[in-house]
Amino acid sequence: MSVVVLCAALPGLDPLTGGEVLVAQNVAFAVIGLTMVAAALRMVTTTNVVHAALYLVIVLAGAAGLFILLGAEFVAVTQVLVYIGAIVVLFLFGIMLTRGSYGTDEDVGRERHLMAALVGVLVLGVTAGSLVDTFRDAELARSAPSTAAQIGDSIFGQYIVPFEAISVLLLAALIGAVVVARSD
């Protein structure tokens, strides 16, 4: 696991045994998971839009931490670069450019919130029930983190066609955004 690699790289630190690594991973997961859920809840309930964007940063950084925990280091780095570096900045630009929405997002009405919460709880109940029923106590036992070389081989080998499709999609979205947002 990546934690093993990390501990081995630190000089003067005794290598952890398998059980200790597992405990460390579970503690890290609990901390990251609780932070993410708390930040996500604050994000969808806060009235200040700029604060919501900053809470989104916490959730995205937590997801990057989870990816490292899962041994997907390249995805974690991409998450930080693209999501936190680019998409959140884009959101902040969107907030600043739409000044009417800047300060607060006033309350919509109790009924709408209740219905939305009901739908959320139902979605959670159905997914959680089926997940617990399907995977019960399946263990994650990855022997080594995946490398960027493996991912590169996979993207430019087996998945070259979806990759090209994504490239065209990004180009189309770029042109579309410019055309839609142009002022005349």
Taking CB under 8 A as the criterion, which residues in 2-21 touch another protein?
none
Task: List b or e across 55-69, with b for residues whose CB sees 16 or more CB atoms inside 10 angstroms.
Answer: bbbbbbbbbbbbbbb
Contact 146, 73 (CB under 8 A): yes
Among 13, 20, 27, 120, binds another protein (CB under 8 A): 120
Among 17, 137, 161, 184, binds another protein (CB under 8 A): 137
Instruction: Tell me which H or E stretch contains 141.
Output: none
Among 5, 142, 164, 184, binds another protein (CB under 8 A): 142
113 Cβ neighbours under 8 A, 6+ residues apart: 107
**Binding of another protein by 128 (CB under 8 A):** yes
Residue 5 beta carbon to another protein: minimum distance, rounded to whole angstroms: 15
Among 16, 43, 58, 84, binds another protein (CB under 8 A): 43
Radius of gyration for the chain, computed over Cα atoms and rounded to the nearest angstrom: 21
Contact 8, 79 (CB under 8 A): no
Residue 40 beta carbon to another protein: minimum distance, rounded to whole angstroms: 5
Instruction: Kindly determine how many residues on this chain lie close enough to bind another protein according to the rule CB under 8 A.
Output: 87
Nearer to another protein, 12 or 81 (CB): 81
Among 49, 84, 161, 184, binds another protein (CB under 8 A): 49
**Around Cβ 2, how many Cβ atoms within 10 Å?**
19
Among 15, 31, 117, 164, binds another protein (CB under 8 A): 117
- Name 48's bridge partners: 104
